[in-house]
Copies of this chain bind each other. A is one copy, B any other.
Amino acid sequence: MSNAETAPSSAPRYSATGVDVDANDRLIASYRELAERARRPEQVGAVGAFSGLFDLSAHPNPTLVASTDGVGTKVLIAGLAERFDSVGRDLVNHCVNDILTAGAKPLFFLDYLAGNGLSEQRKIRIVSGVAEACRDAGVALLGGETADMPDVYQSGEFDLAGTIVGVVDREQAISGATIAAGDRLLALPANGLHTNGYSLARQALRLRPADGELAERRARLTAHLPELGESLADALLRPHPEYLTDLRPVLDCVKGLAHITGGGVAGNLERILPDGLGAALDRSAWSEPPIFDLIRRRGAIGDAEMFRVFNMGVGMIIAVAPEDEPALLAELDGASGIGEVRALQSGVRVEISGA
Question: Once the chains bind, are A66 and B54 in contact (CB under 8 Å)?
Answer: yes
Residue A111 interfacial (CB < 8 Å)? yes
Residue A299 interfacial (CB < 8 Å)? no
Chain A residues with a Cβ closer than 8 Å to the other chain, count: 96
Question: Once the chains bind, are B71 and A1 in contact (CB under 8 Å)?
Answer: yes
Q: In the complex, what residues of B have CB within 8 A of residue A173's CB?
A: 44, 47-48, 53
Residue A9 interfacial (CB < 8 Å)? yes
Question: Once the chains bind, are A51 and B262 in contact (CB under 8 Å)?
Answer: no
Interface residues of A in 183-214 (CB under 8 A from B): 195-196, 199, 202, 208-209
Shortest Cβ distance from residue A182 to the other chain B in the assembled complex, whole angstroms: 22
CA separation between A165 and B48, bound complex, in Å? 13
CA separation between A336 and B169, bound complex, in Å? 46
Question: Once the chains bind, are A104 and B68 in contact (CB under 8 Å)?
Answer: no
User: Number of copies of this chain in the oligomer?
Assistant: 2
Q: Given A21-B308, A199-B19, A271-B9: A102 and B65 within 8 A (CB)? A: no
Q: In the complex, what residues of B have CB within 8 A of residue A99's CB?
A: 50-51
CA separation between A13 and B272, bound complex, in Å? 13
Question: Once the chains bind, are B147 and A72 in contact (CB under 8 Å)?
Answer: yes
Shortest Cβ distance from residue A143 to the other chain B in the assembled complex, whole angstroms: 6
Question: Once the chains bind, are B102 and A48 in contact (CB under 8 Å)?
Answer: yes
Of the candidate stretches A119-127, A151-159, A288-296, the one touching chain B is: A151-159
Q: In the complex, what residues of B have CB within 8 A of residue A69's CB?
A: 1-2, 15, 145
Residue A76 interfacial (CB < 8 Å)? yes
CA separation between A67 and B143, bound complex, in Å? 7
Where chain A touches its partner, the secondary structure class is mixed
Of the candidate stretches A55-63, A226-234, A278-286, A326-334, the one touching chain B is: A55-63
Among residues of B, the one whose C-beta sits closest to the C-beta of A200 is: B19
CA separation between A276 and B333, bound complex, in Å? 57
Residue A277 interfacial (CB < 8 Å)? no
Instruction: Choose among B4, B108, B152, B170 the residue that contacts A57 (Cβ–Cβ < 8 A).
Output: B170
CA separation between A13 and B144, bound complex, in Å? 22
Q: In the complex, what residues of B have CB within 8 A of residue A2's CB?
A: 67, 69, 98, 259, 261-263
Question: Once the chains bind, are A151 and B70 in contact (CB under 8 Å)?
Answer: no
Interface residues of A in 138-172 (CB under 8 A from B): 142-145, 147, 149-154, 157-159, 161-163, 165, 168, 170
Give residues in A with beta carbon < 8 Å to B: 1-6, 9, 13, 15, 17, 19, 21, 44, 46-57, 61-73, 75-76, 94, 97-99, 101-102, 104, 107-108, 110-112, 114, 142-145, 147, 149-154, 157-159, 161-163, 165, 168, 170, 173-177, 195-196, 199, 202, 208-209, 258-259, 261-264, 267-268, 270-272, 308
Sample of 18 A–B contacts (CB below 8 Å): A2-B262, A4-B262, A15-B262, A17-B262, A47-B173, A48-B102, A49-B272, A53-B102, A55-B64, A66-B108, A67-B143, A68-B111, A68-B163, A70-B112, A72-B149, A114-B159, A153-B154, A153-B157
